[in-house]
Structures are given as structure tokens and as C-alpha cells.
Amino acid sequence: MKDIIMTLVAGLLAYTGTNSPYVEEHVDRIEINEYRPAAARPQTLYQVIFWEYKEHVPYYNKKTGLTKYRSGHVILDWRRWYTGDPVPRYDHRLKQYIFMFYDKRSKVFRRIIAHAYSRSITDYDPEVYDQRRHPTALRRKLR
């Protein structure tokens, strides 16, 4: 509840023309993923994943020891998402999705602007899967 109130207050400040209290980021896609693992750990995990399209991304293959370069979407960063947390909304003026939330990890308000928004349900963790293809050391994290 406290996060929602702080987000609303910060949103009002941003719309009234005062200095924006947000750290603003631009990503290509925002995905809210519902990860439902197998019966070994039946707890559902919700996460917000921020994706970016990159050209010539190095993908390391552990079996062959070779690195190939491909183009595609890679994960920038992710945050835990709880039911009842804010969801991205479509801004018709900007023709983009805006996701505003309080980032507990960095202790700042974030305003994420994206071209696309999706929701998914998977039986695997997309972030862990992307780590296998694209090392986290090469990721551009959220500021």
C-alpha cells in the first residue's frame, strides 16, 4: 500500500511539471512473467522482465566451447512482482507503455518506457534461461 501511495504522489509531481523524481529508462519490451515450476517447488513466482533488442549478441555454447553472434532480444534486468503491484499502462500521447514503480532494490522511483508489453506463463524461468545464452556480465543493467 505504501508503494502505491508513493507512486501516485510521484506521478502527480511528474504531471504538474515539477522536477521528475524518477529514474527514467527506455527498454524495448516489458514482460510480466508468471513462473510456475514443476512439482519439486510448487510456488509461483511473478517477475517483471525488461527486454532489449541487440545486434550481434555473443551466445556462448558450453558444449562446443564456441561463441556465435546473433541478433535478438536479451534481458536487461528483472524485478520481483507481487499481485496487486502496478502494471504498465499505455500512454496514447506517447504511443508507448509506461511502467512506474518504486524499486526496493535501488531505493528509487522508476519510470520505464517501452514499445511493447506482454504477460506470460512459463514452466521455466526466462531470466535463468537467458543467463545460459547471454552472460550477465554483458548485460546493461537498469541505472
pLDDT digits (tens, 9 = 90+) for 59-110: 667 778 777 777 778 888 888 888 788 899 999 999 999 999 888 888 889 9
Nearest to 80 by CA among 99, 104, 100, 97: 104
Which of the two residues, 16 and 97, has the higher pLDDT score?
A: 97
Is 37 part of a structural domain of the chain?
A: yes
pLDDT at 55 over 70: yes
Is 142 part of a structural domain of the chain?
A: no
Q: How confident is the model at residue 21 (pLDDT cuts 50, 70, 90)?
A: confident
DSSP structure class, residue 18: S
Tell me the mean pLDDT in the region 118-134.
84
How many structural domains compose the chain?
A: 1
Is 23 part of a structural domain of the chain?
A: yes
CB contact set of 22 (below 8 Å; sequence gap of 6+):
10, 14, 100, 108, 109, 110, 111
Is 141 part of a structural domain of the chain?
A: no
Rg (CA), the chain: 17
pTM beyond 0.95: the answer is no
Give per-residue pLDDT as tens, 27-45.
999 999 988 877 666 677 8
Provide the mean pLDDT of the chain: 79
pLDDT of residue 2: 56
Instruction: Map residue 63 onto helix, strand or coil.
Output: coil
- Domain housing 31: 2-136
Is 143 part of a structural domain of the chain?
A: no
Q: How confident is the model at residue 20 (pLDDT cuts 50, 70, 90)?
A: low
d(CA 23, CA 5): 18
